[in-house]
Amino acid sequence: MKHQLILIVLMIIFKAEAQSSASSMADSLYLTGNYTLAINAYAKMGNDRTNLQIARAYQAIGNLDKAISQYESIVAENPALQIAAFELGKLYLRTNAYDEARKLFSKLATGGSENPEYQYYLGEAYRELGQPASSLVSYKNAIQLDSTHLRSLFQLAKFFTVKQQRDQALEYINQGLEFYSNDVALVNLKALVYFNDDQYPKAIPWFEKVLALGERKEYVYEKLAYCYYKNWEFDKAKETYNELLKLNDDNSDTYFSLAEVYRKNKELDSAEVFIKKAMEIKKPIFATGYNALAGLARERNDLTTALSYYEKAHAQEPMEPRYYYQICTLNDQLAEEPGRKLEYYENFIKLYGSKQPYVSQMVARRISELKEEIHFSQE
């Protein structure tokens, strides 16, 4: 009897060692990316852990349908295995099965767990389903469980930034930055909050920090340059727009913006150079460029050249009333005969009167003055 007991114990030990060896071999195959052989090896063992590894291996090789099927089988057989349900829920999100993800994460979140990740991913499911109110509740639940949950803080901050609700956005942004001051996503949001609120001096250091953290994106340079421009820091604005051109020298808007910096700094010749460069890139749409060149000519008090550019702008976009209105006012200044002036203003009313009621009122008053002037001159 004693010998039989020893034999049974030895058999159990040998079997455990064999299973351990097989498991180690399967794990080695999995960790080195040999997923198909790993799946075959795990399938021979058939326990919760190896079944979970099979699901992970299917996901690793991109066979998401089989991965989902494997996860669903595990969850059905062992509902208490939260790790399987958690990974399945994330896979549902990845494959756009948002309602399935919502159901699963809702069950995990309401199962007495204090895991903020469940609340966060529940929020993600609601967000993808177009239910922002429910998603916000879930994100807030996540940060109640963990005040440092960055992804939930970011989603809340992003929502209120987009809605341009400055104070609420800053509340969540600052909460996140308190414990991770270099989180580039939150730093970027803080810059955008101030930018959207026209607080350009406050936005500047945050956009600068975004760049310092390595986020060298076109929109960052563009907005930072605009902040410098609005803050009358023209040299910094020029430098930043030039950095933007190094990233993309085929965007006419950048050249127009750079031209505006030079114009505002009274460097009209340089402004003209960049306007013409913008027009070269934006062919065949010249109207914006001609309008800008007309503005420069006006600043030089070269009204004849300004009129010529406005006429070219109007020829490009005849449905745009502001170009023709400038033609009217310049002819008013340049023409000697009241009748010629009157002709342009009356034509403005015919072309754009119903579309531009406020401007049409000013034009109507000028028409009245000119008619009176013509009447008295005839007498």
Q: What is the pLDDT of residue 18?
A: 42
User: Rounded to whole angstroms, how far apart are CA atoms 41 and 1?
Assistant: 37
Residue with tokens 């009204």: 303
* 200, two tokens: 């350009």
pLDDT digits (tens, 9 = 90+) for 3-38: 555 544 444 444 444 455 667 777 888 888 888 887
Average pLDDT over residues 72-99: 94
Domains of the chain: 300-379 (1.25.40)
pLDDT digits (tens, 9 = 90+) for 180-231: 999 999 999 999 999 999 999 999 999 999 999 999 999 999 999 999 999 9
For the entire predicted model, the pTM comes to: 0.80
* CB 213, CB 182: distance < 8 Å: yes
Q: How confident is the model at residue 61 (pLDDT cuts 50, 70, 90)?
A: very high
Average pLDDT over residues 242-266: 94
User: Rounded to whole angstroms, how far apart are CA atoms 102 and 87?
Assistant: 13
Average pLDDT over residues 271-281: 91
pLDDT digits (tens, 9 = 90+) for 171-185: 999 999 999 999 999
Which DSSP letter does residue 214 get? T
Q: What is the pLDDT of residue 44?
A: 83
**Cα-only R_g, the chain:** 34
User: Rounded to whole angstroms, how far apart are CA atoms 186 and 205?
Assistant: 14
